[in-house]
Amino acid sequence: MKFRDRVILVTGASRGIGAAIAQAFAAEGGLVIVNYRENAQAAEAVVAECRQLGGEALAIAADVTSPEAVAAMAEQIGQEAGRLDVVVNNAFAPYRFDPDQRARFWETPWEAYGRQFEGAVKATYTVSLAMLPLLERRGGASIINIASDLVTRPSIPYHDYTTAKAALVGFSRNLAAELGPLGIRVNCVAPGLVCPTDASAATKEEVRETLIAATPLRRIATPTDVAGPVLFLASEWSGFITGQTLHVDGGLVMA
């Protein structure tokens, strides 16, 4: 199994894309840290599924925008696992992809941008900084940040969300340049619309059909579609790739 004896932290892993990523790592033999903020029952269900798939898993509650909570999580990982090989920054501030109810630019207060920056950039900064001492213990560590194809192709202008994800891509490139000499790679995975997730539940069927018609592979991504590219970027198969953004949207973006 590709990730046997490897320890992987997935933030926001109690549901949706994060849960699928955690389960995919577990299926490859990894020890997965299932981070969650509030829903302990959902996180423990993901842990149980990870174990059924052949891996090991541990649920740890932490608000990833809180330096104190993340520091405590890093300490617990160090005590219980003794190492960390992969960080997947998947958690983000709550958002609804609802084209009809979205706030237009002139309706979007600056505070909305701030909330999304907290969830996308501050969370990734806080987790990456706290986990760096653990990542440095082993060669070949990897950080994967979940961005969005809306940065490249804003098919629907979700101003606050997309701007924060664009900043996350810029942060990730700087981090890749800084951490490369330490043997730590940093990349982004940028999905398109992913269904089913809580965030996409408000996206109407006609909007999905329009996206499908514009997508060369003629379907919407599932959480499992995102998990595979994350595992690739965490593996030795991508050992000479850093600072890149991999679009996972069926060819909607070709860059």
3-state SS, the chain, equals CCCCCCEEEECCCCCHHHHHHHHHHHHCCCEEEEEECCCHHHHHHHHHHHHHCCCEEEEEECCCCCHHHHHHHHHHHHHHCCCCCEEEECCCCCCCCCCCCCCCHHHCCHHHHHHHHHHHHHHHHHHHHHHHHHHHCCCCEEEEEECCHHHCCCCCCCHHHHHHHHHHHHHHHHHHHHHHHHCEEEEEEEECCECCCCCCCCCCHHHHHHHHHHCCCCCCECHHHHHHHHHHHHCHHHCCCCCCEEEECCCCCCC
In words, the CATH class of domain 7-248 is alpha beta
Contact 217, 250 (CB under 8 A): yes
> Is the per-residue pLDDT at 53 higher than 90?
yes
pLDDT band at 202 (very low <50, low <70, confident <90, very high): low
User: CA distances (Å), 33 to each of 78, 142, 147, 163, 217, in order?
Assistant: 11, 15, 21, 29, 33
Identify the pLDDT of residue 186. Answer: 98
Q: In the chain, what are the domain boundaries? A: 7-248
Question: How confident is the model over 141-188, as pLDDT tens digits?
Answer: 999 999 999 999 998 999 999 999 999 999 999 999 999 999 999 999
Identify the pLDDT of residue 1. Answer: 67
Identify the pLDDT of residue 243. Answer: 98
pLDDT band at 46 (very low <50, low <70, confident <90, very high): very high
Mean pLDDT of 110-122: 97
Identify the pLDDT of residue 27. Answer: 98
pTM, entire model: 0.95
Question: How confident is the model over 80-115, as pLDDT tens digits?
Answer: 999 999 999 999 988 888 888 899 999 999 999 999
pLDDT band at 74 (very low <50, low <70, confident <90, very high): very high
pLDDT band at 199 (very low <50, low <70, confident <90, very high): low
161 a catalytic residue:
yes
**Cβ neighbours of 95 (radius 10 Å):** 20
Identify the pLDDT of residue 205. Answer: 81
Q: Length of the chain in residues, anyone?
A: 255
Catalytic residue among 36, 95, 125, 161: 161
> Is the per-residue pLDDT at 139 higher than 90?
no
> Is the per-residue pLDDT at 208 higher than 80?
yes
Mean pLDDT of 19-23: 98
State the average pLDDT for the chain. 94
Contact 162, 116 (CB under 8 A): no
